[in-house]
A and B are shown apart, each in its own frame.
Chain A
Amino acid sequence: MDKPKGFFVGLKCRECGRLYPAEAIHVCEFCFGPLEVDYDYAAIRRAISREKIAGRAKTMWRYKELLPIQGEPTVGMQVGFTPLIKADRLARALGLRECYIKNDTVNYPTLSFKDRVVSVALSRARELGFTTVACASTGNLANSVAANAASAGLRSYVLIPADLEQPKILGSLIFGSNVVGIQGAYDQVNRLCSEIAGKYGWAFVNVNIRPYYAEGSKTISYEIVEQLGWTVPQHMVVCMASGSLLTKVHKGLHELVKVGLAPSADCRIHGAQATGCAPISHAFKNGTDIIKPVAQPRTIAKSLAIGTPADGYYAIKSMKESGGSCEDATDEEIIEGIRLLASTEGIFAETAGGVTVACARKLVASGVIPHNQSVVLCITGHGLKTHEAVMGHCGHPRVIHAKLSEFDEKVYQADSRKHAETPA
């Protein structure tokens, strides 16, 4: 394989530092550590500037020098640059002075942050000559692989736990993807995929293409910092399944400093998990970086239900290095979190977003995040994909006949009485 023409040099083992060519490989042959993309940061520093970025299209590809593809992107051209919202009403509810939502519920085309990683993975998979792409997924990744593969004319296989939320299953089938439901939890899906990957010459985005794929998550940090006028928030709260997103958000901040785009990376990064599957949070709270797998995850946040988190160790490292911490939230707290975000900011997040809001709330309440500091919550997926989790928790519509008198009596007057009873 030719030496890559982009700003990345090859792959490097994160544990032992051995170098590898930029192929579809993800594990060090020697020590079994994960491989990571190796960049020429000095060259990137010379090539990139705030002005140059400002002149480019409002997608995550405006930071293409920091992404591991050789040529121009060919998949997911419109992805990213999602809104960063100043969430004043939520801030008030949480007791914060300054709070922002990075709103990846409106990412293109499948309404979750996974569109970022998949755009990189499929663009790179094409450069490597693959025509079939695949993934192990808890739903959002499957949706994004299915949609992006369809638009790129690639064949796709998505493997998911068979008991996922219906919209996440339909949201893959509709694109003509080959959807395979596995009887078992996500970790069993992942184990099977690690056996399949390589066998049929497919690009498994989160297995043999993982070093490239995972880099897409860094763009969340790049965008937040640019959207804040090239300043860094004091805190970020990020949900964790495998722990990859948090690790890359941390890496992204430090890269901005390395290439001269941001003055500092001084941001405390806090991880958020669901209590029913919180292996990283438990390890963090117990003061260890050895993660005890959760054999049977039990949480409504199915997208975070990974019992054996591949990047858990590195996520703990990132939280510690950044001065951050870790929380987890029960199903009840998750539902409250979803409703709080919806009722204060008009954003309907999926269960993972509820986890992030609920954990942020706990971190503020316990004083870990001080009231007078700035916080960005990374909201990673849309609520319509997990509507069944909140169904029945938001009340029901009142059904009346199409008569003015009925509206007057059963709606207007009833509500006037209710408002009179409730102190303002």
Chain B
Amino acid sequence: MPTKVRIPTPLRKITRDQEVVEVDSCATIGQLIESLEKDYPGMKERLCDEKGEVRRFINVYLNDEDIRFLKNRDTPVKSGDEVSIVPAIAGG
């Protein structure tokens, strides 16, 4: 079963204006990012730094839980999970 990924406005140029995209089933968030890159080239360098870690000011949520408090890139993805990509809110 494919995984739904919510894309924030600033990255929708890459997804051809799609707010939600589906990627083929992946075992981990790391694989999901690779899969996104395959379907939407340019996505990975926006999401990850040179070391392949998710950028500091990008939050990736697996079913509303920040992956930083799970297992980061190794966080397992199950069938039916939903992933959201949300830039951190600056300001305040």
Seen from chain A, the residues whose Cβ lies within 8 Å of a Cβ on chain B are: 15, 26-34, 136, 186-187, 190-191, 193-194, 197, 204, 206-207, 210, 241-242, 290, 292, 306, 308-310, 313
A241 to B90, CA, bound (A): 13
A187 to B89, CA, bound (A): 9
User: Chain B nearest CB: distance from A243 CB in Å?
Assistant: 10
Residues in A with CB closer than 8 Å to B92 are 136, 186-187, 190, 206, 241-242, 306, 308-310
Given contacts A15-B57, A32-B55, A33-B57, contact A310 B69 (CB under 8 A): no
Could you say which interface size class chain B belongs to? 10 to 19
A31 to B68, CA, bound (A): 17
Cβ contact of B91, chosen from A15, A33, A207, A292, cutoff 8 A: A207
User: Chain B nearest CB: distance from A280 CB in Å?
Assistant: 13
Asked if A34 and B69 make an inter-chain contact with CB atoms under 8 angstroms apart, the answer reads no
Residues in A with CB closer than 8 Å to B55 are 15, 31-33
Residues in B with CB closer than 8 Å to A34 are 57, 90
Residues in A with CB closer than 8 Å to B58 are 31-32
A273 to B56, CA, bound (A): 23
Please report whether the interface of chain B is mostly helix, strand, loop or mixed according to DSSP: loop
- In the complex, 14 of the A-B residue pairs with CB atoms within 8 angstroms, ordered by the A residue number, are A26-B90, A27-B87, A31-B55, A34-B90, A136-B91, A190-B89, A194-B90, A206-B91, A207-B90, A210-B91, A292-B69, A309-B92, A310-B91, A313-B56
User: Chain B nearest CB: distance from A209 CB in Å?
Assistant: 10
Asked if A204 and B57 make an inter-chain contact with CB atoms under 8 angstroms apart, the answer reads no
Seen from chain B, the residues whose Cβ lies within 8 Å of a Cβ on chain A are: 10, 46, 49, 55-58, 68-69, 87-92
User: Chain B nearest CB: distance from A210 CB in Å?
Assistant: 6
A241 to B58, CA, bound (A): 21
Name the residue among B69, B87, B89, B90 with the largest chain A CB count within 10 angstroms. Answer: B90
Name the residue among B10, B57, B58, B87 with the largest chain A CB count within 10 angstroms. Answer: B57
A206 (CB) vs chain B CBs: closest residue: B91
Cβ contact of A31, chosen from B46, B69, B89, B90, cutoff 8 A: B46
A306 to B88, CA, bound (A): 14
A191 to B91, CA, bound (A): 9
User: Chain B nearest CB: distance from A384 CB in Å?
Assistant: 24
Asked if B89 and A308 make an inter-chain contact with CB atoms under 8 angstroms apart, the answer reads yes
A28 to B46, CA, bound (A): 11
Additional A-B contact list (7), CB under 8 Å, known A27-B87, A193-B91: A27-B90, A30-B46, A31-B46, A33-B56, A136-B92, A194-B89, A309-B92
User: Chain B nearest CB: distance from A264 CB in Å?
Assistant: 30
A193 to B55, CA, bound (A): 23
A159 to B33, CA, bound (A): 37
Residues in A with CB closer than 8 Å to B88 are 32, 310
Asked if B68 and A290 make an inter-chain contact with CB atoms under 8 angstroms apart, the answer reads yes
User: Chain A nearest CB: distance from B65 CB in Å?
Assistant: 11
A136 to B89, CA, bound (A): 12
Name the residue among B49, B69, B87 with the largest chain A CB count within 10 angstroms. Answer: B87
